Chain A
Amino acid sequence: MFAIFLTSGLFLGWSLGANDAANVFGTAVGTRMISFRKAAIFCGIFVIFGAVISGAGAAQTLGELGAVNAIAGAFVVALAAAVTVYWLTVLGYPVSTTQAIVGAIIGWDLFSGALIDYGALEKIVLSWFISPVLAALFSALLYKVIAYGIKYARIHMFSLDALTRSGLLIAGIAGSYALGANNISNVVGIFVPISPLADISFLGWFKLSAAQQLFLLGGVSIAVGTFTYGKRVMLTVGEGIAEMSPVAAFVAVLANAVVLFLFASQDLQAFLLGHGLPAFPLVPVSSSQAIVGSVIGIALIKGGRGIRWRMLGEISMAWMATPIVAVLISFVSLFIVQNVFQQKTYFPVEYQITAEAEQRIREAGIPTNTLADIREKTYPTAAQFQKAVSQRMVLSAREVNAVMAATEIDRIMVTNDAVKRANASSLTSEQKRAFRTQWRKTFEHRWQLEKALAEASPEWRAKPGDKEQNKEVMRDLDYIYRMVHASE
C-alpha cells in the first residue's frame, strides 16, 4: 500500500522536475548557451544531491502536505497537484508547484470540513504580483550594471561567451541543488513517518537513512521529470517571453536567485537580525514567477519591443489557473476515492471545549465566559466549531488559531510501535528518551502530548527568541504526531 501511495508523490516530483527546472536552466537552454541534454544532466545530478544532502537536514519536515491528516488523502492531494502541474507543463507554462499543492490542500480542506488557510491563499495571490515585479526590478538593475561593466572591461566576444556559459552553468547547478533541497519535502516528506524502509549501510562507508532513501527516490523522480519533459517549459522561459542575449540569460537567473535569497530566505533574515542589521522583509516569492519577471525586466530596460505580450498573458492565466484547477481536481478526486474506492481520505477532526481546553484558552489570555453554552458540546468539523465560536465572540486571527488548537480533539495513544519507530528516527537521544516516557499514555488533545514532551525534556521545549530551534522543535513535533497516528 505504501508503494501505491508513494507513486503520487513521485508523480508530483516528476511534474516538478518537468516544470521547475526551467527556473534554473530555462534561459541558458533558450539562448542555446547550454544544450538541453547537458542542462538536464547537471540539473538531475544536483537536484538529487540537494534532495539527499540538504533535504535530509530537515528529515522531519512533512512539507505542505503535512496539513492532510490521512495518507490516502495526501495521496489524492499530491496527485491533484501533480496532474495540475503536468497539464500546465504540457501547455508549456512555467507555474509554481507549491501553489498547486496549496490549491489541492484547499480542495481537501473543503472536502473534509477543515478550516481553509486564507493566509496561504493570500500569499499565492501576492506572489503573482510581488515575484515578477521584484525580479524585474532586480534584473533590470543588474543588467544595467553588468552591461556597463562589460562595456568598460572590453571583454573579447569569445571570453565573454566562455564567462557567460560558466556563469549560467554554475548558477544552474546552484539553483538545481536548491530546487532539490527546498522541494523534496513537498514531494516525499509526507511519506517519511509511514515509510517501511530501513537504513542501508554501504560496506560501512556511508549510511543512507530511511528518510534519505525516500529523498533519493524523490530526487530521482524530479531528475527524470526534467530529462523527459523539461524542455518545453525551458524554451518558454528562455525564448518564448522575449528574445534574449546570453548575458541577459545569465542576468535573469542571477536576479531570480538574488530575489529569492533576499526576500524569501529566513536564514538570511535571522542572520541579519542576529547581527543587529536591518533585514529585508520576508515576502511570498515563487521562483517560477520570479524568473518570468526577470526576463521581462531585461526586455523592458532594452525598450520593451521584444516582449511577446500574448505569451505573457497566457502565463498569467496559467498562474491563476494553477490553484483553482488544483482545488477542483483535488475535491472531485477525494470524493471519488472516498466513495468509490472506500479509502479514508481524512480523519474527521472533532472540536470540543473540554475542561483542559478551556483552561488552556484562558492561559492564552482569551476570556471563555461567552462560550459557556457550548462547553462540552462536540462539533464534527472545524468549520462548524469556528462558526459557533465566532457567533459568540470576536477574535483576532491569532486568537482563533489558539482556540482551535486548544479544542481540537485528538485521542492518541503512544504505542509500542511508535516508540520503536521514534528510536529508529533521526531525533536526538534526549528527545527519544523523553518520548519513551510517554509510552502507553493517552491524550485527548494534541497539545497535551506536546506539553507532556516539553515537561519531560528541554529539547522538546520552544526557546523564546530562538527561531531556528523553535522551527526544528515544531518540525519534530509534527513528525512525532504523524508517526503516533500511523502506528495506532
Chain B
Amino acid sequence: MGESILKKRAGIEKQVDEFMDRVSEAGLLCRNGMESYLKGNMEAFAQAMTSIRETEHKGDALRRSIEQDLFTKTLIPESRGDVMELLEDMDALLDRFTGLIWQFEIERPDICPEFHDDFKELLHYSVESVEADVRSCRAFFKDIHAVNDHIHKVSFWESESDKVSTRLQRAIFRRQDLHLSHKMHLRFFAKQVDRIADEAEDVADRLNIYVIKRML
C-alpha cells in the first residue's frame, strides 16, 4: 500500500517538475520569438509562436491534472490552497509570455533599431525574474529552506527591469520624429514586457508567505 502511494506521489512530483519546465521554456521561447521579430526573421518568429502555443497547452493540461490530483486524492491538505494558487500564478506568467508573442503577431509594432537592445534587455530581465520564480517554486516543493536563496533574486531582476523600462520609455518619448500614436504603441509594448517582471515579483511575495505558513 505504502509503495503504491509513493508511486502516485512520484507521478505528481514529476508533473509539477514538468509544469515548471514549461514555464521556464515559455520564457526562452518568448525571447527567441522577440529576437526573431526584431531581426525581421518572420519564419523563425512563426515557429517560436507555434512552439510557445504548444508549451502553453501542455502547461495548462499539466496544471489541470495536478489540481485534479490535489483534490481527488486530497493531497497536502495543509498547503493545498497555497499550492493551487501558486500553480495558477505560474500559469499566468506562462500565459503572459504567450500573450506577448501574440501581441507582436497581431499588432506588428514598428520598433526603431535604436530601441532593439533595450527591448531585448528588458525581456531578458523579465525572463530572469520568472526563472528565479521557477527555481523558488521548485525549492518550495523539494527543499523549503532553500527558497530564500532564490526568492530575493526575483526582486533584483524586477528592479533592473524597472530601470530599463523607465529608460526605454523616456527614450521613446524623447524622439521628436515619431508620432504620438507610434510612441504610445511602443510604450505599450515596453510596459507589456515590464509587467511580466512585476507579476513575477508579486508571485515571489505570495510564495514567501506560503513558505512562512509551512514553516510554522
A251 to chain B, nearest CB (A): 14
B1 within 8 A of A: yes
A157 within 8 A of B: yes
A161 within 8 A of B: yes
Contacts of B144 in A (CB 8 A): 157
CA distance A154 to B74 in the complex (A): 22
Contacts of B77 in A (CB 8 A): 31-33, 246
Contacts of B214 in A (CB 8 A): 245
Contacts of B74 in A (CB 8 A): 32, 35
CA distance A140 to B5 in the complex (A): 28
Q: Is the CB of B141 within 8 A of A158?
A: yes
Given A166-B1, A166-B2: A302 and B216 within 8 A (CB)? yes
A411 within 8 A of B: no
Task: List residues 210-255 of chain A with CB under 8 A from any CB of chain B.
Answer: 245-246
Q: Is the CB of A246 within 8 A of B8?
A: no
Q: Is the CB of A158 within 8 A of B143?
A: no
B35 to chain A, nearest CB (A): 36
B202 within 8 A of A: no
Q: Is the CB of B141 within 8 A of A157?
A: yes
Which of A32, A35, A154, A161: most chain B Cβ within 10 A? A161
CA distance A33 to B80 in the complex (A): 12
Choice from A165, A245, A246, A302 contacting B5 with Cβ under 8 Å:
A165
Interface flags, B1-34, vs A, CB<8A=1, else 0 = 1100110111011001000000000000000000
Q: Is the CB of A166 within 8 A of B145?
A: no
B126 to chain A, nearest CB (A): 28
B83: nearest chain-A partner, CB-CB: A157
Interface flags, A133-166, vs B, CB<8A=1, else 0 = 0000000000000000001001011110111011
Q: Is the CB of A154 within 8 A of B9?
A: no
Q: Kindly count the residue-residue contacts between A and B in the assembled complex, taking CB atoms under 8 Å apart.
A: 52
Interface range on chain B (Cβ under 8 Å from partner) = 20 to 34
Q: Is the CB of B5 within 8 A of A156?
A: no
Q: Is the CB of A158 within 8 A of B78?
A: no
B70 to chain A, nearest CB (A): 10
CA distance A245 to B1 in the complex (A): 23
Q: Is the CB of B75 within 8 A of A158?
A: yes
Q: Is the CB of B12 within 8 A of A246?
A: no
A243: nearest chain-B partner, CB-CB: B216
B11: nearest chain-A partner, CB-CB: A158
B180 within 8 A of A: no
Q: Is the CB of A156 within 8 A of B145?
A: no
CA distance A470 to B141 in the complex (A): 56
Contacts of A246 in B (CB 8 A): 77-78
A38: nearest chain-B partner, CB-CB: B74
A249: nearest chain-B partner, CB-CB: B78
A31 to chain B, nearest CB (A): 6
Interface flags, B121-142, vs A, CB<8A=1, else 0 = 0000000000000000000111
Choice from B13, B78, B79, B83 contacting A159 with Cβ under 8 Å:
B13
A161 to chain B, nearest CB (A): 5
CA distance A159 to B75 in the complex (A): 10
A269 to chain B, nearest CB (A): 32
Task: List residues 63-93 of chain B with CB under 8 A from any CB of chain A.
Answer: 74-79, 83
Task: List residues 23-73 of chain B with CB under 8 A from any CB of chain A.
Answer: none
Q: Is the CB of B1 within 8 A of A157?
A: no
Q: Is the CB of B6 within 8 A of A162?
A: yes
Contacts of A159 in B (CB 8 A): 6, 9-10, 13
Contacts of B10 in A (CB 8 A): 159
Contacts of B5 in A (CB 8 A): 162, 165-166
A34: nearest chain-B partner, CB-CB: B74
Contacts of A161 in B (CB 8 A): 9, 75-76
A positions within 8 Å CB-CB of B: 31-33, 35, 151, 154, 156-159, 161-163, 165-166, 245-246, 302, 306
A-B pairs with lowest CB-CB distance, top 6: A32-B77, A158-B9, A162-B9, A154-B143, A162-B5, A166-B2
Known: A159-B6, A161-B75. 15 other contacts (CB 8 A): A31-B77, A32-B74, A151-B145, A154-B143, A157-B76, A157-B140, A158-B9, A158-B12, A158-B13, A161-B76, A162-B2, A162-B6, A166-B2, A166-B5, A246-B78
Q: Can you list 29 A-B pairs, Cβ within 8 angstroms, ordered by A?
A: A33-B77, A35-B74, A151-B145, A154-B143, A156-B9, A156-B13, A156-B141, A157-B140, A158-B9, A158-B12, A158-B13, A158-B16, A158-B76, A158-B141, A159-B6, A159-B9, A159-B10, A159-B13, A161-B9, A162-B2, A162-B5, A162-B8, A165-B5, A166-B1, A166-B2, A245-B214, A245-B216, A246-B77, A246-B78
